[in-house]
Amino acid sequence: MVFLSGSKSGNIQSNPYKTPIAFFILFFGCSIFSISQELDKTYLIGEQAINSTDAIDSENFYPAVLELLIQDQMNVMLEKKGIEKKKSADLLKKSADLQAAYMAGVGEEILERGDKNLATTGDRISSFGGSHFGEELTAKASIYKGTVPFTYAKVADEILFKWFSAPKKAGLIENIQFNLIGVSATLDAERKKVFVSVVFGNYKSFNEGAAYKDQLKIPYSSKTYGLNPPDKDLCKKVLRQENLNDLQKGLHTEGNLIYFETDNITQIKKIMRDKKDGLAVDILQKTQFNCIQPNILDHDLINQGILTKRVYTPKLFKKNLADTKENPKAFKVQLGLLPEGIQEGYELNLVIIQNKSACISIPQSFIIPTSGTFTKNIKLLADTVTLNTKFHYKPVADSLSLSFKIPFENKKYTYQASDIEPFLKLLNEPAFIICDLTITAYSSIEGTEKENQMLQQKRAESIILALKERQSKIIHSKISTDYNWGDFKNDIRQSQFPQLADMPMEEAQAYIRDNKLNKGLEPILQNHRYARIDMKVAYDISGGNEQAFVLKKFNKAVAEEDRPMALSIQKYIIKQVLSYRYKPTLLSEMNIPAEKDYVGLEMNRIWLQHFTKQIPDDEFALKVEELFNLNPENEYIAFNDVYNKLTQKPLNGLKEAGLLQARIDRLYATSLKKETVDGINLKLQFKLIQFLDSTDAEPKLKLAPLEQIKQIIDIRGESLQNSLRLAEIFIDNNDYLFALKTLEPWVYHPNHNEALVFAYVSLCSQYEERMHTQIFEYAMMRAKELNPTRFCELFHGDFFSLKVFENQEVKELYCKQCQAEEKEPGNPE
C-alpha cells in the first residue's frame, strides 16, 4: 500500500547493475515449478563447500544452504517471468529466523501466534526496529522419504512448487512492491522436518528514522483524525480509477490556504459517494529527507508528513469555490492550512479516503515526453506457394530440330553470318548450338541441270561456312541440290499456264524454253530458288544465354497450362532477378493470361516489377486491386491490396478502418505467418490513431487500436526507435504503465540513450512501487552518468516526489552528486 515508506539498512545487498533481466513468456499452472527446475549449485558455508544436490544430513544440517537455494531458485523463476530478482535484507532475515524457529519448536506451520508482541509478521519485523510493513510465506517439508534423505535441491523445489502453484502465494512472490526478502530454515526437534519462513518487504520495512522525529521544527502528524489504514475491499474501487495520479496536480496553495481544484467534478463525484468518503492532504517536508541521517518517517503511520483534517463528502461539495459559468464541471474546495512556519520545499500529497479508510496518498509525478520512429520490415508478398510445386526448377539444356529457308538472290553466291542472322532470329529461339546440318539447295526448273547444281552447291557451301562462324563446335553437314518441282507445280496451277503442272518436268522445262517464258514466269520462279536448312540443335544456356531459355520454358509451361511447372520456373526467375543474374526487363515478356487461375503468377510478376522499379506505386496498386477482384481468396494478393491501401492512401474514416480491420482479421486464418499479418495490423492501428487525433473523435475510440497494439507488440523484441515511438503513443494516451513496459527492456541495454533513460524514470514516478525496484535504481545511476546536471534537476520543482528518497540507493546517488549544489548542505534542497 502506498502509505508505507522506508529507510536504508546497511545490510541490504547492492544492486548487480550489470545483470540484465531476462524477459520470457509467463508460465502457468502446475508447470510453473517441477523437479527439473532443481538448481545444481555449490555454496561455501564457512570453509565447507556444500552442493545443492548433496543429501541432507540431519545431524549436520546446513540451514544457510537451503535458505540461499530457495532464494536463488525463486529468482530463477522470477527472471523467467520477466520479474526482477529479490535481494536479501538482514532485518527481514531476523524476522524470518524468529518465525522459523518458533514453527520448528511447536511443530506446526503457522503465520500468527499467541504471543501478543510477536503475533504477526509486522510485529516480528517491528521487534527488530522495523515497521509493520511486510508479508510472509511459510512452509513445512520432510527431509526424508522413509529412511532415504532428500537433497537440499529436492526440498527447495518441493517448497517452491507449492508456493508457485497457489495463485495468492505466487502473486506475493511476483509482486514487485516486495523487492527485499529474508529467508530462514530450521529443523524440528526430531530433525525430520524443516520449517521455512520467507519474509517479504521493501524500504518501507525499515523505520529507524522515526527516532529522529523531534529534530523536525514541524514534526509529522501522529494524530490521524479517525482515519483507518487502507482496507483492500474498501479501496479496490478507487484504486482502479484511471489517471488517478492526475488528481494530485489539482493541489495548490494560495497564501497559507491549500486548495484542490479540477475542471471535471464528475470524476470526483464518482469517487466521493458515501458520507465518510473524503479528501485530505499529507504535507511532506524536505527536511525529513536529510542526506546525513535516515529519512524522518514513521512507516507505521498512515501518513508520512503533516496530515490535514479530512474533508468528508457532505462538506466537500457544500460550497464549490470555482467559477462554473464558463465550465459547469469546474470544482474548487479548500482542504486545509499550511502549518505556520513551514519552510519552502514542502510537497502536497493528495489523500483519498473511502469510508474513513485512507486508501492512497498520491504524490507528485511527472512525464518526460519521448519520441521515436516506428518501422516494421513489412514487405509486399509474392505468391510462391498457392500452387503445388513439389520440385525446384533448374534449367537443363535440351535439343530439338529447327528448319528455315534462305531465299537465293540473283547473282549472289556467297553468304556471311550477318546475312543469315536475320533468318535465325525469325525462329524466335534462345541461343543454341548447331550439331547436325542438312542443306537442300533448290533451283527453279528453267535452268540447265549442270548450271543449277554448280550454282546451288556453291551457295550451300557458303551458308555452311557462315553458320560455322557462329560457334566453335564442329557442325556435321550434308548438302543436296534439286529442282524445286514441287513448289513449281503448286504455284503454276494458279497462273495462266496451269497445264504445265500436269506435264513431266522435262517437258515443262522444254515448253518454257521453247516459248521463251523465263521472263514472264520470273515472279513465280524466283520463289523457288532457296536453301532449306534443317538443323539438329542443342540449347546453349551458358552465361547470359540462360535468361532467354528459361523465359521460353516459362511461357511454354503457361501455354500448356502446366501451372505448377510455370510457378516453379517463375520462382527460379525471381531468384535470378533478385541476384542480378537476369535483367528485370524480361518480366514484361512473360505471357500470363488475365484469368483467375493465373493471378498468383501475375502477382509475382508485378511484385517483382514493382520491387525492381519497373512500374510505379500507383500502377502497382491498381494492378493488385484488379487481381484481388479476380480472386479475393488469394491471401497474398489480399495482403498486398490491404498493404497498398494503408501505405498509399489516407484513411477516409472509421467505416473504411472497420472494413480493413475485417480483411486483416481474415488473413490471420490463412497460411500467412502471424508476424506478417501483425505488421499490417500495426500499420492500421497507427493510422487509425493518427486519424482520430486529427478529428474531434471521443478519446474512448482510441482504446480499441491501443489494445490491438498491446496484443500485437512483443515489447522484448522491438528496436530502440520502435520502443520510443510506442512509449510516445501510450504516453499521449495516458497509458503510462504500458509505455513504461515498452522502454523497460532497453534500460539495461548498452545501446540505450539519454532520451530513453529519462523518459523511463519519469514513468516510474507514476508508480511508487516502481521507484523501489532495482531497475529503477540502475536507470537513475545511468541518468546521473549520461547527464549529471539534468539528473539533479529531477529533484527540484515539479519532477520527482520527495518519496523517491525512500529508495536508499537513489538517495545516495542524489546526495553524492547533487548535495553540494544545494543551499542547505546536507539536505536534498
Tens-place pLDDT, residues 186-239? 999 999 999 999 999 999 999 999 999 999 999 999 988 889 999 999 999 999
Residues 186 and 323 both lie in one domain: no
* Coil vs helix vs strand at 258: strand
Give the per-residue pLDDT at 15.
37
pLDDT at 28 over 70: no
When pLDDT is averaged across residues 42-69 and rounded to a whole number, the result is 94
Give the per-residue pLDDT at 36.
41
Residues 127 and 225 both lie in one domain: no
pLDDT at 10 over 70: no
When pLDDT is averaged across residues 499-524 and rounded to a whole number, the result is 87
Q: How far is CA 506 from CA 53, 486, 591, in A?
A: 114, 14, 51
647, part of any domain: no
pLDDT at 280 over 90: yes
pLDDT at 11 over 70: no
Give the per-residue pLDDT at 696.
79
141, part of any domain: yes
Confidence of residue 821 (pLDDT cuts 50, 70, 90): low
Confidence of residue 6 (pLDDT cuts 50, 70, 90): very low
Residue 104 CB burial class (10 angstroms; 0-12, 13-18, ≥19):
buried
Lowest mean pLDDT among 302-306, 525-529, 756-760, 804-808: 525-529
pLDDT at 703 over 80: yes
Closest CA to 180 of 54, 89, 278, 47: 89
CATH number at residue 451: 3.30.1330.60
* Average pLDDT over the chain, rounded to an integer: 88
Whether 453 contacts 412, CB under 8 Å: no
Whether 634 contacts 652, CB under 8 Å: no
C-alpha of 450 from chain center: 88
When pLDDT is averaged across residues 813-820 and rounded to a whole number, the result is 90
Whether 177 contacts 772, CB under 8 Å: yes
Whether 65 contacts 43, CB under 8 Å: yes
How many domains, the chain? 4
- Among 525, 540, 555, the domain boundary falls at 540
User: What cell numbers appear for 671 in the block?
Assistant: 497460411
Beta bridge partners of residue 534, listed in sequence order: 403, 438
Lowest mean pLDDT among 116-125, 267-276, 446-455, 697-706: 446-455
Closest CA to 771 of 743, 803, 795, 739: 803
When pLDDT is averaged across residues 759-764 and rounded to a whole number, the result is 97
613, part of any domain: no
CATH number at residue 78: 3.40.33.10
Tens-place pLDDT, residues 149-197? 999 999 999 999 999 999 999 999 999 999 999 999 999 999 999 999 9
Residues 57 and 185 both lie in one domain: yes
Contacts of 603 (CB under 8 A, 6+ apart): 382, 383, 624, 627, 634, 636, 637, 640
Give the per-residue pLDDT at 2.
33
* Coil vs helix vs strand at 82: coil
331, part of any domain: yes
CA distance 494 to 487: 12
When pLDDT is averaged across residues 706-712 and rounded to a whole number, the result is 92
Half-sphere exposure of 464 (CA within 13 A, CB side): 20
Residues 218 and 155 both lie in one domain: no
Which of the two residues, 390 and 650, has the higher pLDDT score?
650
Residues 226 and 358 both lie in one domain: yes
Residues 59 and 182 both lie in one domain: yes
Q: How far is CA 674 from CA 25, 190, 378, 537, 680, in A?
A: 17, 59, 12, 50, 10
pLDDT at 487 over 60: yes
Whether 366 contacts 762, CB under 8 Å: yes
Give the sign of the dihedral formed by CA 493, CA 496, CA 498, CA 500: negative
When pLDDT is averaged across residues 758-776 and rounded to a whole number, the result is 96
Long-range CB pairs of 417-424, under 8 A, 24+ apart, other chains included: 417/466, 417/467, 417/469, 417/470, 419/466, 420/463, 420/466, 420/467
- Among 205, 228, 253, the domain boundary falls at 205
Percent of all residues in the chain with a pLDDT value above 70, rounded to a whole number:
92
Tens-place pLDDT, residues 597-618? 999 999 999 999 999 999 999 9
Lowest mean pLDDT among 27-41, 463-477, 787-801: 27-41
Q: How far is CA 312 from CA 267, 317, 358, in A?
A: 16, 9, 12
Give the per-residue pLDDT at 738.
94
Residues 81 and 182 both lie in one domain: yes
CB burial of 209-234 (b: ≥16 within 10 Å; e: otherwise) equals: bbebeeeeebbbbeebeebeebeeeb
Lowest mean pLDDT among 65-79, 488-502, 811-825: 811-825
- Tell me which amino acid residue 95 is: S
User: What cell numbers appear for 477 in the block?
Assistant: 553437314
Lowest mean pLDDT among 526-540, 746-760, 767-781: 526-540
Q: CA-based angle 327:333:334, to the nearest 5?
A: 150
CA distance 647 to 644: 5
First to last CA, the chain: 27
Give the per-residue pLDDT at 579.
87
502, part of any domain: yes
Beta bridge partners of residue 137, listed in sequence order: 198
609, part of any domain: no
Question: Sheet holding 432-443: strands in order across?
Answer: 399-407, 530-539, 432-443, 476-483
Long-range CB pairs of 511-516, under 8 A, 24+ apart, other chains included: 512/445, 512/446, 513/446
Q: Which helix (H) or strand (E) holds 44?
A: strand 42-45
Contacts of 536 (CB under 8 A, 6+ apart): 399, 400, 401, 434, 435, 436, 437
22, part of any domain: no
Tens-place pLDDT, residues 410-442? 667 788 888 888 877 877 778 888 888 888 888
Confidence of residue 137 (pLDDT cuts 50, 70, 90): very high
User: What cell numbers appear for 755 in the block?
Assistant: 532520451
Which of the two residues, 61 and 797, has the higher pLDDT score?
61
Whether 184 contacts 96, CB under 8 Å: yes
Beta bridge partners of residue 184, listed in sequence order: 197
pTM of the entire predicted model: 0.74
Closest CA to 359 of 231, 245, 250, 205: 231
Give the per-residue pLDDT at 110.
95
Whether 505 contacts 445, CB under 8 Å: yes
Beta bridge partners of residue 353, listed in sequence order: 278, 358
Range of the domain at 501: 399-417+430-540
Residues 102 and 240 both lie in one domain: no
Whether 356 contacts 227, CB under 8 Å: yes
Residues 179 and 213 both lie in one domain: no
Tens-place pLDDT, residues 730-739? 999 899 999 9
Which of the two residues, 543 and 337, has the higher pLDDT score?
337
When pLDDT is averaged across residues 384-408 and rounded to a whole number, the result is 74
Beta bridge partners of residue 399, listed in sequence order: 538
Residues 191 and 228 both lie in one domain: no
Tens-place pLDDT, residues 342-368? 988 899 999 999 999 999 999 999 999
Residues 57 and 122 both lie in one domain: yes
Helices (H), 81-211: 90-106, 121-127, 152-165, 167-174
673, part of any domain: no
- Among 161, 181, 205, the domain boundary falls at 205
pLDDT at 823 over 50: no
Residues 343 and 435 both lie in one domain: no
Give the per-residue pLDDT at 820.
65
